[in-house]
Chains A and B, each alone.
Chain A
Amino acid sequence: MTQKNRLQSGGRIDRSKALTFTYNGKEYKGFEGDTLASAMLANGIDVIGRSFKYSRPRGIVAAGAEEPNAVMQLGATEATQVPNVRATQQELFDGLVSGATNGWPSVDNDLMGVVGKVGGKMMPPGFYYKTFMYPQSMWETYEKFIRKAAGLGRSSLENDPDSYEKINQHCDVLVVGAGPAGLTAALTAGRAGARVILADEQSEFGGSLLSSRETLDGAEASQWVEKVTAELAGMKEVMLLPRSTVNGYHDHNFLTIHQRNTDHISDKAPAGQARQTLHRVRAKWVVLATGAHERPLVYGNNDVPGCMIASAVSTYINRYGVVPGNELVVMTTNDGGYQAAFDWQDAGRKVVAIVDTRQNPQGAQVAEASKRGINLIKGSGVIDVAGSKRVTGVSIATLNAEGTAVQGSVTKLSADTVATSGGWSPVIHLAGHTGSRPVWDDKVVGFLPGPTVEKRLVAGAIAGDFTTAGALAQGAEAGRKALAELGLGQAEIELPATEEVVVHPPMTLFQIPHLKKTSEAPKQFVDYQNDVTAAGIELACREGFESIEHVKRYTALGFGTDQGKLGNIAGMAIAAKATGRTIPETGTTIFRPNYTPVTFGAMVGRDRGELFDPKRYTAMHKWHVENGALFEDVGQWKRPWYFPKAGETMQQSLDRECKATRESIGILDASTLGKIDIQGKDAREFLGRVYTNAWAKLAVGKCRYGLMCGEDGMVFDDGVTSCLGENHFVMTTTSGGAARVYEWLELYHQTEWPDLEVYFNTVTDHWSTMTISGPNARKLLQELTDYDVSKENLGFMDWREMKVAGVPARVFRISFTGELSFEINVQANFGLQVWEKLFEHGAKYNLTPYGTETMHILRAEKGFIIAGQDTDGSVHPYDLGMGWAVSQQKPFSFIGKRGMAREDCVRENRKQLVGLKTTDPTIVLPEGAQGVFDPKAPIPMPMVGHITSSYWSANLGHSIAMGLVKGGLDRMGEKVYYPLADGRVVEAEICSPIFLDPKGERQNV
């Protein structure tokens, strides 16, 4: 197909470089410099999708980020599928494959098209709340239906083949937008040597100058843009970011910029290049020079393809050399709309009429229209258009002076394009992201950025000055202001001469009245993307949703990726009218990040795959890998789970590891245990306050187990703390709890007891810790040390300094298995060496490495708890039957003492930790199983607690379990029943959790 709407000359495209692209399976041609949208218009593609709710054909309306309809699905392959790309922002490249997101299977013959008209009635405003929310269980079903029907685009089903960068930036001044205001702001700041970042969403700098025919210094504006850009590019401290949308403005001048590095080349980045970069910017000052979006007017059937924004028509003609139609009608409330007609006429196509809603417009534009012989219809409006897949004609009626009612007869004219201008809305989205409320300005007929606590300036159209001269001057002024605030001296720039423009007052009008009242008139769209009509907003107001925030949520006005770029102001005006208030009284909703959609890839950066989350390793990790360990995540640690031998099932491995430990000797890498070094004369006192038990009399060389509780009296961590010197202790914590406990100690020290002389230092990574456990542990250790490790010289719960395999070590005789155990600690640089020496000497004892699973079984055989598994934040020491670890006699209180004395904590029938022995000894209860006392009780059965730990014990030859049971400690010997999901009901007897060696003789040898 030829590019029937392409001009022979003009625009910023390169006609020598033809590009082929595919839209909905059909090939088309465009040129380098095109956007997907301009190329589609050049090819005469009218319908680019179907609307969200009513399934109406839609065409391209705008030329930039504000485009509501041309939201495309991109990607030549499954892996490179990208949803939600605005055709107006997508640069054309050779081989681009695009499709309409809405309107499967074909936008031209949509199955929903007919249904849509019915569906629309079925989906009035408020449908979202009225239907989606009830019943909640149906939400997913509704959502799927809506998404499929509306076709909101889809993500790829395959892995993204591209890589993405995330990078931190800092600057003195971040300038958002490289139009005339942004360029002068950046140039001023840059000349003074400030660190400047200038970001613009378009492929080239210049903003409005790119599509205007205004001159600067008597020459094409682009020449000035090139000169300024070149000067900026030469500055060492200036970073220029084209194709970079500032999407989020967060607290404390933290902004995020989404840069598209290669999306203009291909849908997959060239090898070695990141497809997109997310810049995380901390700016000392921000200058918003984001410009303004032209507002379309609201009139009957204003969504029929061919209805466009007046300035977009100019942009397509001037920048891309595309005239998107043949016969144009312009409707405008201000001087701005006229330019589209002039550009259209200059492009050699027919201007049917300019319809000005003002009764008596005056000035240069009016004179120019008359000079050009254009039919100027004053005091009138286009009340309706004809056509469905393309405009075929317009109905024009005379309006009253206020523009609130139709007067007189209706004239019908033939036209295929309607360009409207309802004035300009400053692009205040970013200004509102941090919570600043926009302020209405009657003169501007729009909202301006409100006051803010951020160090932020605005310049140009965002500040309500829509002239180029004003933008240039305000930009320079913002640059100077930022420099002054930063104390960076001053710099002057020479502003280019502009053409003088006298602007005549616009008319404040948003919705063009119809002969019928709004609810009966043809649909008048306010928010195209969310299919919100003027009638819908009126209905919302009638139903009592008067707050603009409620109107928004009720109608979906300004939702989603659109963020109300085109429709918000008109929507508010209509709501204001419907509720008899002014626009400032009605107020505005607040815009949220992101301004336009950001890919997940850019947000993720390199935090994926291997680098998704840190993996922490011990010094012996290589050995574990080489010896076939399977690993378990404990916090971020990779801990050996178990060490299967060839052909073993998991249970067989565990049985072997458990038996070897109880019968001879096993070894565990316990390096992951949290270790905190505590020094100071009040260390002992501090321990007494954070642990529930007493520490006053623990002698140097001794170790003690402690429980740590929150203020509520509930156990949150436990471990052994050893007295290294009179003023020196080392505390161990659970592997996952180390950071939390360390912070806990610092918190209490810094906020509650700063008077105590004590310091904490984390030494977790410093020590390699290996625990040898079993009847032969002493023999093995003795072989590797000169120190006498006999019972007499190194008793249970003692620690000593000695050399093990020639390496200085602290050896703690503590036991988590109930066996004779030694925990050997050496500086981690020597950990693997000592570990290997133990194996050299341990082979004859069948020294067996075991992992976390066997550790869990061995400790459960002894009834030792694991904080976080057998406790869940609702369990105090007495619930655990561990009252022996609580000292109520300490002179100073301890954390949790009051909490565990609360009425609820001392009542009868609390859930308590007990052992559970299944009647059928072969059944291993699933952890988490809920118990009941009466298995025949009617449903819902009263539940009495859950299984916290459950294993097969090879040593005992039966299953063992621990669990919480209401009043369990007083119910020894009674039965509890566990109805399982598979229908079985497992009977178990309450018993002591100490299944093995209740007198503790094995560890005391």
Chain B
Amino acid sequence: MSDTNSVAIMNQVPDAAAGVRAESPLHHADLATVAHKGNKIGGVHFREVGLMGHLTLRCDPNNAELIGAAARVLGVELPLTPLSSVESGGTIVRWIAPDEWLITVPNDQSFDLETRFRAEMSGHYSLVNGSGGLTIYQVSGENVVDMLKKSTPVDLHDSEFPVGKVVSTVFAKSGAVIRRTGANEFELLVRRSFADYLWLWIQSASAEFGLVVEA
């Protein structure tokens, strides 16, 4: 049990030597087979990027010391503009709320990142590993906006939702953190327990355009 800053952190990822297989929320859907057998052409493309490290950082955005420390750990400044994100190397930092950011790194780096945060930062903040509870759906294609418009009330027009914008919002009857990664590319960060529902939803909402599953 680690006790830096009076919080418990632990490396939650087993050693490679333990031979433990990790399963993303859509593991059971066997997307590799679906991708192999399914459509090769379609207006919407779908890919699950599972097993990433997701850390939620909460601290006062007006605390220059904490903000500075976070930047040193991450190698990029925390985005302070609402609904924005930064991406650098393999690290994505999303503004979620005035005092909340969601950081994504490869899962095997999450403990290292957590450790460095704990070493670098002091005072009032929280850092929580939520890697097991989240997965990323990458959706793209020429009809991706048409599909998303059926799913979320957010305005996705490129004038209102440029590349890099992040919104935590309603998606179907669940929720998602939506980030635009390209003209016709979005990333949906969804909760594990809702992953199946949203996967079914996306299949249904994409049907008229043709859905291409990638794995």
Question: Are A765 and B134 in contact (CB-based, < 8 A)?
Answer: yes
Whole-angstrom distance between the alpha carbons of A982 and B193 in the complex? 42
B124 at the interface (CB under 8 A from A): yes
Whole-angstrom distance between the alpha carbons of A267 and B21 in the complex? 52
Contacts of A808 in B (CB 8 A): 10-14
Whole-angstrom distance between the alpha carbons of A865 and B107 in the complex? 39
For A830, give its contact among B22, B125, B129 (CB under 8 Å): B22
Contacts of A607 in B (CB 8 A): 172-173
Contacts of A168 in B (CB 8 A): 149-150, 152-154
Q: Mark A657-694, 1 if CB is under 8 A from B, else 0.
A: 00000000000000000000101110000000000000
A76 at the interface (CB under 8 A from B): no
Size class of the A contact interface (CB-based, 8 Å)? 35 or more
Question: Are A828 and B192 in contact (CB-based, < 8 A)?
Answer: yes
Whole-angstrom distance between the alpha carbons of A808 and B22 in the complex? 13
Q: Given the interface contacts A637-B193, A807-B18, A832-B23, does A272 sit within 8 Å of B208 by beta carbon?
A: yes
Whole-angstrom distance between the alpha carbons of A614 and B200 in the complex? 10
Whole-angstrom distance between the alpha carbons of A717 and B207 in the complex? 42
Contacts of B193 in A (CB 8 A): 616-618, 637, 764-765
CB nearest to A615 among chain B residues: B197
Contact segment of B1-9, B31-39, B73-81, B84-92 = B1-9
CB nearest to A764 among chain B residues: B133
Question: Are A725 and B128 in contact (CB-based, < 8 A)?
Answer: no
For A829, give its contact among B3, B23, B56, B200 (CB under 8 Å): B23
For A679, give its contact among B21, B126, B149, B155 (CB under 8 Å): B126
Question: Are B192 and A619 in contact (CB-based, < 8 A)?
Answer: yes
B196 at the interface (CB under 8 A from A): yes
B132 at the interface (CB under 8 A from A): yes
Question: Are B7 and A616 in contact (CB-based, < 8 A)?
Answer: no
A610 at the interface (CB under 8 A from B): yes
Whole-angstrom distance between the alpha carbons of A720 and B154 in the complex? 38
By CB atoms of chain B within 10 A, which of A280, A617, A621 has the most?
A617
Q: Given the interface contacts A616-B194, A763-B130, does A728 sit within 8 Å of B20 by beta carbon?
A: no
Whole-angstrom distance between the alpha carbons of A763 and B128 in the complex? 8
Whole-angstrom distance between the alpha carbons of A833 and B23 in the complex? 9
Q: Mark A720-731, 1 if CB is under 8 A from B, else 0.
A: 000011111000
A319 at the interface (CB under 8 A from B): no
Contacts of A680 in B (CB 8 A): 124, 126
Chain A proximity of B134: nearest CB distance (Å): 7
Whole-angstrom distance between the alpha carbons of A272 and B204 in the complex? 11
A71 at the interface (CB under 8 A from B): no
For A767, give its contact among B14, B132, B155, B172 (CB under 8 Å): B132
Question: Are A759 and B20 in contact (CB-based, < 8 A)?
Answer: no
Whole-angstrom distance between the alpha carbons of A679 and B12 in the complex? 18
A827 at the interface (CB under 8 A from B): yes
Question: Are A833 and B21 in contact (CB-based, < 8 A)?
Answer: yes
Chain B proximity of A721: nearest CB distance (Å): 14
Contacts of B138 in A (CB 8 A): none
In chain B, positions 96-143 with a C-beta closer than 8 Å to chain A are: 107, 124-134
B93 at the interface (CB under 8 A from A): no
A606 at the interface (CB under 8 A from B): yes
Question: Are A724 and B132 in contact (CB-based, < 8 A)?
Answer: no
Other 13 A-B pairs with CB < 8 A, given A167-B149, A828-B132, A829-B107:
A168-B154, A169-B149, A606-B150, A611-B172, A611-B197, A611-B201, A619-B23, A619-B25, A726-B6, A761-B130, A826-B132, A829-B22, A833-B22
What is A's interface to B at a CB cutoff of 8 Å? 165-170, 195, 272-274, 280, 282, 605-607, 610-611, 613-619, 621-622, 637, 677, 679-681, 700-701, 724-728, 757, 759, 761, 763-768, 800-801, 803, 805-808, 810, 826-833
Q: List 5 A-B contacts (CB under 8 A).
A: A272-B208, A621-B28, A679-B127, A680-B126, A764-B133
